[in-house]
Structure 1
Amino acid sequence: MYKEILTISAILFMLIPIVTIAQHQSVIAENAGPELVSDDFEFTEGPAADRLGNVYFTDQPNNNIHRWNLETGEISVFLENAKRANGLFIDNEGNILACADKNFQLIKITPQKEMKVLIDNFEGKNLNGPNDLWMDNKGGIYLTDPYYQRPYWERTSPELESQNVYYLAPGAKSLVSVAKGLVQPNGIIGTPDGKKLYVADIGDNKTYSYSIAEDGSLYNRKLFVEQGSDGMTLDNEGNVYLTGDGVTVYNENGEQIHHIPVDEDWTANVTFGGENHSTLFITAMDALYSLEMKVKGTRW
């Protein structure tokens, strides 16, 4: 019996790496790894893909929004003087929604590069600095508002007492605070059915899930994982991608299924773009990376 136990244990021990590798490779295309697209920037952030798979991202220190072209693979400047845009989201009409913290605003940029301020305050006070956002199927916008002191600000302290998540309902002219009690909310993403919202509290190294009510309010907060994140995305299998030390992938139960190392000191954000939205685009320090996947994004 002892020998049989040893034999079974040995077999199980040998199988563990195989199972781990199989799980480890489940979301990534075979033999694929992060590939450098370009490192001609200062600090990349806010990647977002349009319906075709073109990817827009920000270089906030240089105050530009760039565009990666699906057909040519080339990167060009889409917009200069972008009001220090950070997180981006592209709506169904092709407008870019941007968290622009130069003047603590949420703005809309049309395909013709016309800019409109959607919101610039909460209850008459300047926002901390809108950072990341997600739009629901109704056209409502959730945004995180952490405070990061910027060198281009004259102010040296926030006007608001807390760092919250806000919701701008369709057609509304003012924000509603929908998530409080966070240290420093940052990354945010919602499920395509509009029923769940993930919010990363990078200041407390935690990510939470919330249920979304019909009116856009949030309830039923649950700890998703003990990890914060700068940015995040979802794939069509419900896996959640968190950033910081490379990209860490969790299934919808909060179990880690993969870690994607990125050869940079910090990984800021991720999105799915490219053909069939099956390429993961990663913004990290001064660079943009791409990674071919077996899964794809949840939009378009």
Structure 2
Amino acid sequence: MPKLTSIYLLVLIITSCSNPKEQTKSIVAEGAELQLVADQFKFTEGPASDREGNIYFTDQPNDDIWKWSPNDGLTLFMDSSGRANGLYVDDQGYLLACADEANELWRINLADKSHEVLLKGWNGMKYNGPNDMWLDAKGGIYFTDPFYKRVYWKDTSMQQSNCKVFYLPPGGSTPIVQDSTLIRPNGIIGTPDQKYLYVADNTGKKLYQYHIGLDGQLENKRLFADTGSDGMTIDNQGNIYVTGDGVTVYDDLGIKIHHIPVDRSWTANVTFGGPNQDILFITAMNSVFTLKMNVKGVRWQ
């Protein structure tokens, strides 16, 4: 074999075998460290960013929704929040909430904090407890409905026969079941191009990818990674962020590329915020944290 050809092949082998972790260290800003914002809560969940980069998140045991602003810090946004869990700010500026005190979906007016109940049950029965949601570009709502017994429930029976992933079409009033085979569907996130939806089965320790078909129907389900997750988010490189043991990052091929340790026993949720959508906001037990990133969230780009 000619010498130059041998050298060329050697370069190809070294390039193809390079460590993906080394290639993706840059997702975190150089020199950035995890910053504790506050640790005054009981259990934090459900962070969601608005257009200005403010973050709304829940302290579910205390029945509160808080607001974090990069400029103004923390303020209590709302108490008596229906035991809100997962949150999402829609394109009209309303805050949607998985309010599992009565197993409902709420829409909250950010101006006056009034709310309306969007959904309160399916097929004549209460939901198990809506947990997390993602909205498509048309305004359709995908949401997960696992069953976790809450100490504040008077009736702790499971009315639905199983745990489901639902889709509420835009303008609709009746959600459509998309998957009823997961043990406890939990975190959910979609891609900005509207092609794929990711749903975590936290109890089953699996992360699935679905193709989003016509009219929002989920198709071609496949195993994306052998991991569960509570809340999830996605960045502008297509990386998926899952939670539990800190924050673990997978690329769009399902390869683990990074881990962000968080000094708490459970990391519940994560999203991007800040005016440039480059601050990773993390909820973990009684605390919330921020981390400056080189990548950005895709929600308001």
Pairwise TM-score range, normalised by the shorter structure? over 0.9
One-letter amino acid matched to 2:42:
E
**Gap runs ≥5 in structure 1:** 1-14
**Corresponding residue for residue 97 of structure 1:** 96
- Once residues 265 and 80 of structure 2 are traced to their aligned partners in structure 1, the CA distance between those partners, rounded to angstroms, is 27
Cα contact 2:21–2:258 (8 A) shared by 1: no
Gapped regions of structure 2 (runs ≥ 5): 1-14
Alignment of 1:219-230 (within 5 A): 219-230=219-230
Q: Deviations over 1:143-201 (max 9, x none)?
A: 00000000111112201111010011111111110112100000000011111100000
Q: How many residue pairs align between the two structures?
A: 286
The residue matched to 1:166 in structure 2 has which SS?
strand
Amino acid across the alignment from 2:268? A
Amino acid at match of 2:192: P
Q: Secondary structure at the match of 2:78?
A: strand
What is the identity percentage for the equivalent residue pairs of Structure 1 and Structure 2?
Answer: 53
How far apart are residue 299 of structure 1 and its match?
Answer: 1.2
TM-score, normalization by structure 1: 0.92
Which residue is equivalent to 1:11? none
The Cα offsets for residues 115-167 of structure 1, whole Å up to 9 and x where unpaired, read as 00000101111000000000000000000000000011111220111101001
- Equivalent in the alignment of 1:22: 22
- For 1:105-144, what aligned pairs fall within 5 Å after superposition? 105-111=104-110, 112-144=112-144
Match of 1:175 in 2: 175
Question: The residue matched to 1:197 in structure 2 has which SS?
Answer: strand
Paired letter, 2:96: L
Residue in structure 1 matched with residue 157 of structure 2 by the alignment: 157
Is the counterpart of residue 291 in structure 1 residue 291 in structure 2? yes
TM-score, length of structure 2 as denominator length: 0.92
CA RMSD, 1 decimal = 1.7
User: d(CA) in 2 for partners of 1:70 and 1:137?
Assistant: 27
Runs of 4 or more, structure 1, over 6 Å off, are none
SS across alignment from 1:126: coil
Distance (whole Å) between structure 2 residues aligned to residue 22 and residue 195 of structure 1:
29
Quote the offset at 1:24 in angstroms. Answer: 4.9
Q: Does 1:81 align with 2:80?
A: yes
1:19–1:209 Cα change, 3 Å: closer
Q: How does 1:27-66 map to 2 (within 5 A)?
A: 27-66=27-66
1:199 alignment counterpart: 199
